[in-house]
Amino acid sequence: MAAHWLSPSLNRLLFGLKNASFQYRCCAVHSKAQYSTVYNSSEKTFDKILIANRGEIACRVIKTCKKMGIQTVAVHSDVDSSAVHVKMADEALCVGPAPTSKSYLNMDAIMEAVRVTGAQAVHPGYGFLSENKEFAKRLAADGVAFIGPDTHAIQAMGDKIESKLIAKAAKVNTIPGYDGVVKTAEEAVKIAQEIGYPVMIKASAGGGGKGMRIAWNDEETREGFRFSSQEAASSFGDDRLLIEKYIDNPRHIEIQVLADKHGNALWLNERECSIQRRNQKVVEEAPSTFLDSVTRQAMGEQAVQLAKAVQYSSAGTVEFLVDSTKNFYFLEMNTRLQVEHPITECITGLDLVEQMIRVAKGYRLQHKQEDIPINGWAIESRVYAEDPYKSFGLPSIGRLSQYQEPVNLSNVRVDSGIQEGSDISIYYDPMISKLVTYGATRLEALSRMEEALDNYVIRGVTHNIPLLREIITHPRFISGDISTNFLPEVYPDGFKGHQLGKENCRELLASAAAIHITAQLRSQKVLGNLRVSSTPMECSNWEMCVELGDGCYSMEVTKSGNVYTVEVDGGVVEVKGEWNLASPLLPLTINGTQRMLQCLSRDSSGNIVLQYLGTSFKVRVLTKLAAALNSFMPEKIPEDTSSILRSPMPGTVVAVSVKPGDTVAEGQEICVIEAMKMQNSLTAVKQAKVKSVHCRQGETVGEGDLLVELE
């Protein structure tokens, strides 16, 4: 399987320089990450490390390896052959085809890659084989260091049932629940009734929200049992489930621990990860607004107790649920580097990957508990290729036709493993990047985040920046009043994008009109000697109409130099800018306030899509005449969608529950689509007879593909 990276591709052959310049760019991505600890180059660790992962985390690890002078080996699937992590690494090997089970989870191929390249250690990143004790065992047998904890710690903490028992024994607070494996749905119902609703059903081997369901009654327990076991089987190859008391309105706060092989362990403060959707984290921060130093210390000490109890080494995370009265319960321990580790790095100044590598080599921890500071505040937003308007985020795929990270801003760190031109495919996690901002205070970090999100250029895939920006500017979030139910509570009817106030609406309309007029004026600027002279319109004020949603606003626009003055909807807006029509970013000064807008598209019939305050708004700018004439244009009747079920996302059809001729009730499951390892049940919106079925089990479908037609 592990064909060695065949002859440097022609690409490389022809452009030796290209890679050099490319690597420079990659480094630039991280150049803002400041670590206060200085790397000690006399401390010898490994000569060569293989990174058994992809995407941003592979790039993140390679970055530190480069700093430490360690050679790096990337592994990749065939579709990832030109991925960023492959280009960054000194060597790269293909370990199989696109599906993760055949490549990044393919232990044989990865072991072979280790052997072929002579790597002395393997960093597993997160996900994939990072918490796979079998993998760690096989590496140990070959005398290769696993950059992570020992096998028995992985095993003990990887199993949720066992980890709970160990935690109890180590005097760590735990949640009431059933300490055993649940085998059938009926047994699940019985146990759930004993514990008392609500309960949580989760995969014994799981993590990251996969294979996890909450049930409020017997019916939901049965359904949850079915879904969770299926998801657990497909994600972890282990369908064992367990059930525990579900704590309502909790906060998710976790403690980063770092331990060496000599019995020393530290807690590196907490991260608050309460903003979640479907049990997956979206926005994280360190420290938490909720913890006082007493609670923090108590949690930290319990986390260290647990780490010591399993002779933990390397970096790990102890997750707690914290209720409104600051009672905290042990949730699970992640025996790996977490996705959200950068925020801990920001406030402590430690390079966690560097520490993991040191510890794996057998060095003692450099720091004492009292050396661990909380410097300032860090926030992380997970930028995903997903549509936030569909259940807070359903995966989207596509090619990043334009991509620009806001790394020119200070105090911004972007961890990503993609670049302009990269494909976001259905095979892997749809994360685009982790956008981290930090500042002396939380407010500073938050305002920088706002700016960074506005300056982030992503084209070609749907992304969740609208949602991220709404979260970090929401009064409840700003005041720190959050829980894991934040999203469903704040957006009970689903996320609908930024709701424009009157003032903001005027700003948007004025900006759109100004862009349109700029483009129109530019069309008159024909250069060169003209045989037939041109007679451009000498005009500096216009009567325009702008359509936004169902509204149509008439306005008067006056231009003077770079400034447009727009009278609209009973107010006057002054918009000033450079008006570069080629740039994706549109820095404007609107009524004296600096705003970063983005022009997502603009066409000749006046349609303009602007990203404003994070959300994209579709407007149509017409001259007064065109608007008047447009009123004669007939409405085109859109397709009736209630009888048609289309795939809301690209994915694989796992099950089709109906056949033509069946009668379905409203809400009845029609089929199940799996995308990015999440199973989504699609239901009927009305009672009807099934007219035709257009999909088959196992088939791959694209977003918007017709699945089932009802009568």
Q: Nearest distance from residue 190's CB to another protein, in Å?
A: 52
CA R_g for the chain:
27
Residues 367-386 that bind another protein (CB under 8 A): none
Residues 494-553 that bind another protein (CB under 8 A): 520, 522-528, 530-532, 534-537
Check residue 426 and report its DSSP letter.
T
Q: Nearest distance from residue 13's CB to another protein, in Å?
A: 8
Q: Which of 626, 655, 685, 688 binds another protein (CB under 8 A)?
A: 626
Residues 114-133 that bind another protein (CB under 8 A): none
Check residue 179 and report its DSSP letter.
-
- Collect all residues with Cβ–Cβ distance below 8 Å to 205 and sequence separation of at least 6: 158, 159, 160, 232, 236, 237, 238, 240
Residue 15 makes contact with another protein by CB under 8 A: yes
Nearer to another protein, 18 or 476 (CB): 18
Nearer to another protein, 607 or 683 (CB): 607
Q: Nearest distance from residue 395's CB to another protein, in Å?
A: 20
**Between the CA of residue 497 and those of 460, 508, 547, 613, what are the distances in Å?**
19, 14, 18, 10
Q: Nearest distance from residue 700's CB to another protein, in Å?
A: 15
Q: Which amino acid is at 118?
A: G
**What are the DSSP E strand ranges found in 323-376?**
328-334
Q: Which amino acid is at 679?
A: Q
Q: Residue 39: what are its φ and ψ, rounded to 5°?
A: -70, 130
Q: Nearest distance from residue 226's CB to another protein, in Å?
A: 37
Please list the alpha-helical segments (H only) found in 237-339: 293-309
Q: Which amino acid is at 91?
A: E
Q: Which of 18, 364, 659, 691 binds another protein (CB under 8 A)?
A: 18
Residue 630 makes contact with another protein by CB under 8 A: yes
Report the candidate in 230, 159, 224 with the shortest Cα–Cα distance to residue 192. Answer: 224
User: How many other C-beta atoms are found inside a 10 Å radius of the C-beta of residue 384?
Assistant: 28
Question: Is residue 54 flagged as an active site residue?
Answer: no
Residue 399 makes contact with another protein by CB under 8 A: yes
Q: Which of 40, 327, 541, 580 binds another protein (CB under 8 A)?
A: 580
Q: Residue 666: what are its φ and ψ, rounded to 5°?
A: -60, 130
Q: Which of 101, 184, 297, 583 binds another protein (CB under 8 A)?
A: 583
Instruction: Draw the binding track, 408-447, toward another protein (x: CB under 8 A; -: no contact).
Output: -----------xxxx-------------------------
Instruction: Draw the binding track, 80-99, toward another protein (x: CB under 8 A; -: no contact).
Output: -xx-----------------
User: How many other C-beta atoms are found inside a 10 Å radius of the C-beta of residue 72?
Assistant: 24
DSSP characters for 52-64? ---HHHHHHHHHH
Q: Nearest distance from residue 409's CB to another protein, in Å?
A: 20
Nearer to another protein, 11 or 562 (CB): 11
Q: Which of 251, 296, 336, 442 is catalytic?
A: 336
Q: Nearest distance from residue 114's CB to another protein, in Å?
A: 24
Options 116-124, 132-140, 398-406, 647-655: segment touching another protein (CB under 8 A): 398-406
Give the C-alpha separation, 690 to 451, whole Å: 49
Q: Is 358 exposed, middle or buried (0-12, 13-18, 19+ CB in 10 A)?
A: buried
Nearer to another protein, 344 or 416 (CB): 416
Instruction: Draw the binding track, 461-500, toward another protein (x: CB under 8 A; -: no contact).
Output: ----------------------------------------
- Interface with another protein (CB under 8 A), residue total 50
Report the candidate in 399, 433, 406 with the shortest Cα–Cα distance to residue 417. Answer: 433
Report the candidate in 277, 241, 104 with the shortest Cα–Cα distance to residue 678. Answer: 277
Residues 187-246 that bind another protein (CB under 8 A): none
Q: Which of 180, 629, 661, 696 binds another protein (CB under 8 A)?
A: 629
Q: Nearest distance from residue 9's CB to another protein, in Å?
A: 8
Half-sphere exposure of 669 (CA within 13 A, CB side): 12
Q: Which of 16, 501, 550, 632 binds another protein (CB under 8 A)?
A: 632
Q: Residue 466: what are its φ and ψ, rounded to 5°?
A: -55, -45
- Collect all residues with Cβ–Cβ distance below 8 Å to 312 and sequence separation of at least 6: 149, 153, 157, 257, 259, 265, 306, 335
Q: Nearest distance from residue 452's CB to another protein, in Å?
A: 21
Check residue 633 and report its DSSP letter.
S
Nearer to another protein, 534 or 641 (CB): 534
Q: Nearest distance from residue 526's CB to another protein, in Å?
A: 5
Q: Which two tokens stand for residue 450?
A: 């706002």
Residue 628 makes contact with another protein by CB under 8 A: yes
First and final C-alpha spacing in the chain: 49
Nearer to another protein, 161 or 626 (CB): 626
Q: Is 575 exposed, middle or buried (0-12, 13-18, 19+ CB in 10 A)?
A: buried
Residue 581 makes contact with another protein by CB under 8 A: yes
Options 11-19, 330-338, 363-371, 560-568: segment touching another protein (CB under 8 A): 11-19
Options 317-325, 393-401, 464-472, 662-670: segment touching another protein (CB under 8 A): 393-401
Options 165-173, 491-499, 505-513, 619-627: segment touching another protein (CB under 8 A): 619-627
Q: Which residues of 507-544 are buried (b: 16+ CB within 10 A; e: fewer)?
A: bbbbbbbbbbbbbbeeeeeeeeeeeeeeeeeeeeebeb
Residue 636 makes contact with another protein by CB under 8 A: yes
Q: Which of 605, 638, 639, 640 binds another protein (CB under 8 A)?
A: 605
Q: Is 653 exposed, middle or buried (0-12, 13-18, 19+ CB in 10 A)?
A: buried
8 A C-beta contact, residue 688 and residue 641: no
Q: Nearest distance from residue 458's CB to another protein, in Å?
A: 13
Options 126-134, 156-164, 289-297, 397-405: segment touching another protein (CB under 8 A): 397-405
Write out the residues near another protein by the rule CB under 8 A: 10-11, 14-15, 18, 78, 81-82, 399-403, 419-422, 520, 522-528, 530-532, 534-537, 580-583, 603-606, 622, 625-626, 628-630, 632-634, 636
Catalytic positions: 336
